Structure 1
Amino acid sequence: MLRRLLPEPGPLRVLTAVTLVNTVGKGLWVTASALYLTQVVGLSAGEFGLGLTAASLVCLVASTPMGYLADRRGPRGVQIVSYALMALLTAAMLLVDSFAAFVALSAVTALVDAAQRGARGALIAGALPAERRVHGRAYLRATTNVGISIGAALAGLAIAADSPTAYRLMIVGNAVSYLAVALIAVRLPALPPVPATAGPRLVALRDRPYLAFVALDGLLSMHFDLLTVVLPLWIVARTDAPHWLIAVLLLINTTMVVLLQVRAARGTEQVEGAARVARSAGLFVAAACLLFAASAGVPGWAAAVLLILGALVHVVGELRQSAAGWGISFGLAPDGAQGQYQAAYSMGAQLGRMLAPAVLVWLALEHGLVGWLTMAVVFTAVAAALPATVSWARRTARPLPA
């Protein structure tokens, strides 16, 4: 595992260090944010959810413009400034005392987060050779899982203490992590800004074949919420499996991503190969849906076996879809517009994650077997459409950014 987290010296190693420190802080926050904001600040669960939705909408709308900013101003500078601002905004969460303040701060934070996401995509594309970009993204995703796991474990101490001071210390820890990554990011290469030319600016939003790929990838990305949102509710309400199995399934997923994401990225460096891998990812996810569906109405031990098998099959689809998406998004983006194209690519996943909780929970909990079968069919159909969409994009000239 250590070797997987220590790539060759150079930009990828620096990006890995940035990712590890940043995600430890993120793990602190995401694990206990709901408890802090509801128990300490006093927000209702509904207000907390609405605030997150508002932030997601801001990030969705701002992604491509912020990616354009990274292209034009230079991604390293945009990322360093974004991390410094995130540190201040995270610390400002300590001052939140109302729903209005939470929504306002979340919206501004989402805007800055969109800037750092666009800059990160442009940095990966510009600092790594084309044939190493997908490999690099795989390293960083594995590192992300390690960092969030460490942060979540540390957050568990604060949750065990269950005091306002402990929760506030987690916020301070997250703010400090942003300052640390801003300093580490100084060691990344200073990629030159891409000069503007005549013509439209946000060309990624005019690239219809690319947007079609983004939409399909976003719909397929809805499956990421199966383990974290749908299955916990499904296990409790519809199966006789032990409830502690929820944690086991998440542990299986995290461990498999850390150990296998780099290997799963092989064969996705070229767009055509990535499209084929994306199609197979849908089949794995569909098979996992069928295994999850079969866990209802059987003895507890059988339900546990089916759920574990489903989690193992699902993570293979997850690994393959992630790697395929990186290969396609990098391969279709024109030179000089990687920042905005990578930001546009992230819009699909954001949209999918916004739709997934309501849609997938409704299908599984309200419709049982029919709901799971519907998911399997949709995931298969969406993934099957990706190769044709990529071929369309390959035949279409990419617009040049202004």
Structure 2
Amino acid sequence: MTTSAPGRARALLDAALPAPGEPRLLALSWLIKTVGSGLYLTTSTLFFTRVVGLPVHQVASALTVAGIAALAGAVPLGKMADRFGPRPTYTGLLGVQFATMAALAFARTFPVFLALILVFLLAEQGSTAARGALVATVGEGVERVRLRAYLRVVTNVGVTIGAAASALVIQADTTAGYMALLWCTALTYPAAAVPLRWLRARESRPAEKAPPTGSGWQVLRDRRYAAVTLICGVLSLQAQVLSFAVPLWVLGHTEAPPVLVSGIVAVNTVMVICLQIRFSRGAEDDRRAARMCRDSGIALFAACALVAFTGGMDGRPATVLLLLFAAALTFGELWLSAGSFGLSFSLAPDGMHGQYQGFFSLGRGAATAVAPVLIAVLCLGDHPRAGWLVLGALFALAGAAAPLALRAPAPS
């Protein structure tokens, strides 16, 4: 019996999207939010310097200080999601982000800017934990990892849409344009909360058998989860290699054409969109997820080895090696995303996904904070080839440690 054309089209659509109902509503909410992220990431620095009038060094220092301080809120806000439910907590934090983003349009002094950006990043840190707990309540086992993989794809699609939409504003370079874009960004937060109204995910419940002491902060005593968080945090330095190191390396250390920076980002984006879901299959199994982290370390070592030899190389061979570097770096990202999805969910006890997801976000947050200095010293300093190889070895060692981390005892 043959399937009709509409039936085949529906089957293809269902395969390309999260499952109907709650997973698809959560993906829609995340798409709206990440479009706002794309708008913000591409124009925020321009707004704060050209419209607000702050010097670049003040903007940079405020973002660094606020980003580090906001890490302190990850576990407490995640624990709040466990207590009050991930959906109301996440919705409330979206409201806080809307209010602070809207208020930033009127900030004209450094202290006001610093205070607002601190609250905004604190809410962002908490929303990461609450969203992770929400994913845990919407899906179970393989569906959790699959949904998280979909959200990873949605992130790339949403940020790309937002960045493309901001291009005209950047080209015009007017105060009115930047103000309008900031308001549009602010409005994406309440818009992202709208699909959650129809989300009837079961709220997480406290674990039935909690340890007699310290159960409210169990994640702080979980050495196995701490080890996995550290390993995935080290591997997540790859994100800053793409966003921070690649533009400076291509323009300042190679003969490759400057447009290759955009080409490398395009290769990364397309590969993640096309391959993330496939690479995430089987990540619900702890051992397989740990092996994915190990493979990520190997791929990232290969990427660093490739880029190490492009310094001073002629344009054409440098271009070829840099495109191979982009592919290897993205394979490392794909395996890391899949492995970290699986481990961060499966190693967390039921009823505690909020605090555990909050703690897990500390690894990437700390990596984001230290990455610019670390990469600048190793890869953009006086001995860049050796520095790239050292960074690659760090990735390989972290990946190799992932299977070993599972041997650490869980809290009793």
Q: Is the pair's TM-score, using the shorter chain for normalization, greater than 0.5?
A: yes
* Aligned partner letter, 1:281: S
Give the match for residue 227 of structure 1.
Answer: 242
Give the match for residue 389 of structure 2.
Answer: 373
1:138 aligns with 2:134: no
Q: Secondary structure at the match of 1:124?
A: helix
Q: How far apart are 1:373 and its partner, in Å?
A: 0.9
Q: How far apart are 1:213 and its partner, in Å?
A: 1.4
8 A Cα contact 1:214 1:345, kept in partner: yes
* Aligned partner letter, 1:185: L
Give the match for residue 104 of structure 2.
Answer: 93
1:284 aligns with 2:299: yes
In the superposition, relative to structure 1, how do residues 192 and 365 fare at CA in structure 2: closer, same or farther (>3 Å)? closer
2:314 is aligned, of 282, 296, 299, to 299
Q: How does 1:1-400 map to 2 (within 5 A)?
A: 6-192=17-203, 194-195=205-206, 199-200=213-214, 201-366=216-381, 367-392=383-408, 396-398=409-411
8 A Cα contact 1:87 1:176, kept in partner: yes
Deviations 1:170-198 (A, max 9, x none): 11111111111111111222533535866
Deviations 1:100-125 (A, max 9, x none): 11110011112222222121011101
State TM-score, norm by structure 1: 0.95
State TM-score, norm by structure 2: 0.93
Q: Secondary structure at the match of 2:406?
A: helix
Between the two proteins, the alignment pairs up a number of residues equal to 396
8 A Cα contact 1:70 1:119, kept in partner: yes
Deviations 1:7-56 (A, max 9, x none): 22022101110111000011101100010101111111111111111221
* Aligned partner letter, 1:324: G
8 A Cα contact 2:77 2:129, kept in partner: yes
In the superposition, relative to structure 1, how do residues 4 and 260 fare at CA in structure 2: closer, same or farther (>3 Å)? farther
Equivalent-residue separation in structure 2 for 1:371 and 1:114 (angstroms): 31
Q: Secondary structure at the match of 2:380?
A: helix
Deviations 1:246-267 (A, max 9, x none): 0110111111111110011012
Structure 1 runs not aligned, ≥5 long: none
8 A Cα contact 2:98 2:186, kept in partner: yes
CA root-mean-square deviation: 1.5
8 A Cα contact 1:76 1:189, kept in partner: no
8 A Cα contact 2:86 2:134, kept in partner: yes
Equivalent-residue separation in structure 2 for 1:148 and 1:58 (angstroms): 25
Equivalent-residue separation in structure 2 for 1:192 and 1:250 (angstroms): 38
Q: Secondary structure at the match of 2:407?
A: helix
Q: How far apart are 1:297 and its partner, in Å?
A: 2.5
In the superposition, relative to structure 1, how do residues 78 and 385 fare at CA in structure 2: closer, same or farther (>3 Å)? same
* Aligned partner letter, 2:205: V
* Aligned partner letter, 2:78: G
Equivalent-residue separation in structure 1 for 2:13 and 2:272 (angstroms): 14
Equivalent-residue separation in structure 1 for 2:375 and 2:179 (angstroms): 34
8 A Cα contact 2:223 2:411, kept in partner: no
* Aligned partner letter, 1:331: S
Give the match for residue 7 of structure 2.
Answer: none
In the superposition, relative to structure 1, how do residues 4 and 103 fare at CA in structure 2: closer, same or farther (>3 Å)? farther
In the superposition, relative to structure 1, how do residues 3 and 155 fare at CA in structure 2: closer, same or farther (>3 Å)? farther
Equivalent-residue separation in structure 1 for 2:131 and 2:218 (angstroms): 19
Equivalent-residue separation in structure 2 for 1:261 and 1:283 (angstroms): 18
Percent of paired sites with the same residue:
38
In the superposition, relative to structure 1, how do residues 279 and 215 fare at CA in structure 2: closer, same or farther (>3 Å)? same
